Structure 1
Amino acid sequence: MIKGDPGMEDIYEWSQKQINVPLRGRTGHGDGVHLLTGPIYVCGAEPGDVLQVDILDIVPRINPASGKTYGSNAAASWGYQYKAGFLDGIKREVITIYEILRDSANNLLWAVPDYQFTYNAPQKGYVGPVTTCTETYGLVPETANGIHYEWNDTSRLYRYNTPVPCENGTQTWTSYLYPGVITPHPTGTEDYDIRGKFKVPINFHIGNMGVASYYSQLVDSVPPAIHGGNIDDRRIGKGATMYYPVQVNGALLSLGDCHTAMGDSELDGTGIETSVTPTLRVTLHKKNALPLKVSKLHYPLLENDNEFAVHGFNYMNYLKDLPNPSKDIYKINNLTSAFTNTYNNTRDFIMTAFNMTEDQAITAITVGIDFSVSQVVNGQWGMQGIVPKWMFNMSDTSPFTPKVMAGTSKPANVTLLTSL
């Protein structure tokens, strides 16, 4: 995916010779795993405003050496399969590499699995990638107010407090503990049997996008919250508009964690993680002139041609509600509280946007609105209430016809997707 692409090699090189991206996460441990573009300072943005982000396009990055595009899906230790259990009782992290196919006119078609490999398979002679030792001290800037926090860790404890000792100048990674580690191939565990088994529609979307939280301490990039972040709603793609309540001066928009495809739930821990280039348009709505639909916004809201998606999580404001938020949020995850908050947000949205009473909103939700699970892997779980615009457009007397493909924000009449 990277070799032969000078731009990618320059950014992600991590070998026994050098590490170009050594510092990951708020402590250097890899907590907060995402490579995000930003923060983007929006002039004039203040708390109480609403930031509108229109996704105009998303195109995949092509490796100039091969002319191809690949993505990876990590069935990782934070995936739901680790909670549900494996048929043979053996927990394992399996990576699947996908190729994104095109037709003869270079139109995007679909993604197909190419091969799988396994982390920490000593029985096959592979224990994991070996790299030079990560740094254990440094400075992490807090962009919102210019304060710098120092961190210093000599224990080399990573995800789940797993030790990865530095021995003779190298570290061996026996599981997916520190994002950014590049796996050289072959590992000896490659399995090509998955080729030709299935294909998935292409639906490029942005998994992690949002504004900065008001929280004065460093914030993990994994759990989503009222400011957006790692929502992992597969509808946040081309044709979608996101609305975020601004919490700090400048809003500080960041985005990354893009996927070629993903089903509701992001079950195994990731989508098809892919390098893409999005085109965005940012609009600032001042708090004294907010459009009605976002006049009482206290959650991330999606809009496309067909519907609104009202998002909710276990805790809408876990940074405020939990005593030790960066750790406690990973201990409490269930769909009951996520559904309750999503329902409450959906009810509030309908009452505000369509001038309805609570009782009117309840019956409208019951007979016409679907709820779905965005993800069950991000520390706190997420859901969304899908509100069709057609329901509330009483001047439209035609039968309901979806304007976007189900579970996306793409036009419903598109068969072949974006040309490159």
Structure 2
Amino acid sequence: MKIIGMKGSKEIIVCFIVLLCISSTVGLKLLNTGLPTLGEAEPKPNDHFKSFSTICRQKGYPFEQHKLKTYDGYFLTVFRIPGAKGELLEPAIKANKPVVLLWHGLLDSADSWIINDEDKAPALMLANQGYDVWLGNSRGNKYSREHRFLDPDRDEDKASFFGFNIEDMANHDTNSTVAYIRQETGKRSIGVIGHGIGATQFLLSPQTGIEVLVTLGAYSSLNHTQEKLITTLANNPKLIENLKDAKMYEVFGEDYVSNKIFSAICENSPSVCQYLLEDIMLVESEYINIDRVDEMLSLFPSGTSLENLEHFVQIYTTKKFQKYDYGLELNRKIYDHDIPPLFDLSESPNFRVVQIVGEEDHISTPLDNHWLNSQLESSVEYYGSFRIGHYSFILGKDMSYLEEIIKLFKQDQWS
């Protein structure tokens, strides 16, 4: 595969990381032809590479795992923590607590909500505050790689299985999950907290059954983003075309190759880890719980589609918050127009919005969130700005923002 027109050493590093993580095949080839052997680390008393269920059970939280089918045939795994630490499963469920659904970011999974220290992990904090906590997983990530008749590991099915973008996730994943949770719990309405794209999915698909949506660094306009992955791909458009030509429709899938490398780097080489975090991932080390970074990187990224990633590259390139650009011919067929239409956020959603912004968020920046706020207008009942970054929402050492959210929830409860 020939990469054309890369600019600068940092962009070369980012492109290398993209290729390393893009699929297990590429990752394994690179490991076998030039990267040093890391070896198998000795088992440690931490959360490295543990599943969501294992982490919950070992920490002593009641836990359920559910699987639901979306309206277009994808099977999504949904986790549930219905009670506080030490609480038994059945009594916790029978307590009929208010429900909060958490939704992860672009390349993430439900793992992100429980990987921080126990007193700082958002899902565990909410469970200990008396909430029935549910956690979604978008199509294509490591927990949601199933379909009614498509196999993501079969060559002839990959293009179709991974032929989705944020609009598909908004129209199907969120709707199906909210409907399923309401049916399982008998609740009239639920609260939702979304991180990054996880918040955007709900904004693009206003639906019944949600009382309040909390957006944590929601993606919308990306005019001011410094996200290295998006900006590098935008500056090297041939890379995405090369990946399509190579039929690599899944990106950053859970092959554990990249996860092992990044986790080992942060465990054994703090200076290299700091460069990787601050210069490449734009993690604000001043504001995150640095002791949990190697755990996070052992479980992140969790996979999505190339089309989904390309969609955000298009938004950044065009400076328009618009639907996916399929090209002239398909645009005319799908949209009845040469170019994709803009997403319309002017229509008030059927729920209240709490917008939380990180002042040091270089991915979903304060300026871009200010634009989003202007689009949502009267729907936003609370706008909170905190001195944290994008990853601090899930791995912060100061979780004051979530404490403020819980105060708001307690003041205006739902059932």
TM-score when normalising by structure 2: 0.22
Bigger-Rg structure (1/2): 1
Please identify which structure carries the higher strand content: 1
Please identify which structure carries the higher helix content: 2
